[in-house]
Amino acid sequence: MAVSHEYPENLDPRVEALVTEVIGRVADKWTMIVLEVLTEHGELRFSRLAQLAEGISQKMLTQTLRQMERDGLVIRTIHPVIPPKVEYRLTDLGFTLSEAFCGVWAWAAHNVDRIAEARRSFDSRNGN
Amino acid sequence: MAVSHEYPENLDPRVEALVTEVIGRVADKWTMIVLEVLTEHGELRFSRLAQLAEGISQKMLTQTLRQMERDGLVIRTIHPVIPPKVEYRLTDLGFTLSEAFCGVWAWAAHNVDRIAEARRSFDSRNGN
DNA sequence: CCGTATCCCTGGCGATACTG
DNA sequence: CAGTATCGCCAGGGATACGG
């Protein structure tokens, strides 16, 4: 804590744009939650994932999983049985992203109270 | 890398909901970019911030800064001069969040190529 | 069971114009 | 300079229905 940190420097503005695009794609609530759930539980089927990712709609879950698969974050395995069984698990790449985001979760969990307090303070300073 | 990591466990589902809300609020492209810019450059005025946060509209910058101020991530200092001069800098809390997100930037910068490759592969597997 | 397809509508966001 | 206010668009995402 309070240790300095440095952001990666991109000399090439095109690369920087790509990095920003990746950030925009990946820094999304549902992506983070799916990442967390898959990290905690390992391989999961679609329906189980839908339960564990509290509040997600089927559409958003499908969409999120497709994007993550496309970006090489998850592997989708179709078991040719009836009824269909499809399982999702993280790739190594997905796992490393999960590690990175884990720090953000920890930060959030550690600071919920300070944030709530800051909000109360801000709201009372400015007309309720 | 490939070292295991653990997400914070929240026994209380209400706390968990709060954490998720904070994640949803904070895991946003512009918040991440403002965090990065303020970390790199220290205290900045509004107009300079607008230049450095490539592509942001004035509206989104104002909105993002207000939310961040409300959450206790930035301090807004109004210098009573003409023309007006308003400066923004990170709080300690904002700085620790910046640290956490720094890992995600590093991840993105380090893996742009793998992601681009994964996308090409995915797109060619499924009808272009 | 695991999706895709369609409808529909809210709200996020840019553009523009105006104030202290 | 540093905002607020207002309008208008269209994409994100829920709900529903249907297909393999």
Q: What is the mean pLDDT of residues B119-125?
A: 95
Residue A63 lies in a domain: yes
Answer yes or no: is pLDDT of A125 > 60. Answer: yes
- Protein A42 CA to nucleic acid C2 C1', in Å? 19
Q: Is the CB of B59 under 7 A from strand C?
A: yes
Bases along strand D below 7 A from a protein CB: 1-6, 13-17, 20
* A1 within some domain: no
| Domain-located, residue B4 | no
Does residue A107 sit within a domain?
yes
pLDDT of amino acid B11: 79
Q: Is position B113 within any domain?
A: yes
Residues of A in contact with B11 (CB under 8 A): none
Domain membership flag for residue B103: yes
In chain B, how many domains are there? Answer: 1
pTM: 0.93
**pLDDT, tens digit (0-9, with 9 covering 90-100), for A17-47:** 999 999 999 999 999 999 999 999 999 999 9
Reduce the secondary structure of chain A to three states and give it as a string: CCCCCCCCCCCCHHHHHHHHHHHHHHCCHHHHHHHHHHHHHCCEEHHHHHHHCCCCCHHHHHHHHHHHHHCCCEEEEEECCCCCEEEEEECHHHHHHHHHHHHHHHHHHHHHHHHHHHHHHHHHHCCC
Asked if residue B8 is part of any domain, the answer here is no
| Facing A71 at nearest CB: one of B3, B69, B115 | B115
Q: Give the CATH number of the domain where residue B34 resides.
A: 1.10.10.10
Where in the sequence is the domain holding A26, given as residue range(s)? 13-125
B2-36 residues labelled b (16+ CB within 10 A) or e (exposed): eeeeebeebeeeeebebbbebbebbbbbbbbbbbb
Nucleotide closest in space to B82 (CA vs C1'): D1
Please state the rounded mean pLDDT for residues A56-65. Answer: 97
Residues of B in contact with A35 (CB under 8 A): none
Question: Which residues, at least 6 apart from B120, have a Cβ–Cβ distance to it below 8 Å?
Answer: none
